[in-house]
């Protein structure tokens, strides 16, 4: 008999128009990010973000849709 893989400890239900659209099993960090009501931006085709560049920690201006690297000074 094959064992079922253990799912991550947090389950989040995504509700759209009063209906569960999907359920995501995730770790505590990603659950906390989703539950903090974040602004979500599709950067799939964003030429301002270099391919493969890790932009975690960058600033974002929603009025101009521009990501900026924070200075380390």
- Distance from C-alpha of 26 to C-alpha of 54, rounded to nearest angstrom: 21
Q: What's phi and psi for 53, nearest 5 deg?
A: -80, 130
CB 9 within 8 A of CB 29: no
The pLDDT score that the predictor gives to residue 32 is 97
With CA atoms as reference, report the closest residue to 58 among 68, 71, 50, 48.
68
Mind listing the pLDDT tens digit for each residue in 14-70? 999 999 999 999 999 999 999 999 999 998 887 777 777 888 999 999 999 888 888
């Amino acid at each position: 008999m094959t064992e079922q893989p253990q799912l991550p400890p947090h389950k989040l239900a995504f509700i759209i128009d009063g209906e569960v659209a999907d359920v995501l099993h995730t770790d505590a960090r990603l659950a906390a990010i989703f539950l903090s009501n974040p602004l979500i931006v599709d950067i799939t085709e964003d030429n301002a973000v270099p391919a493969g560049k890790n932009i975690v920690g960058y600033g974002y201006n929603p009025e101009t849709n521009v990501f900026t690297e924070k200075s380390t000074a």
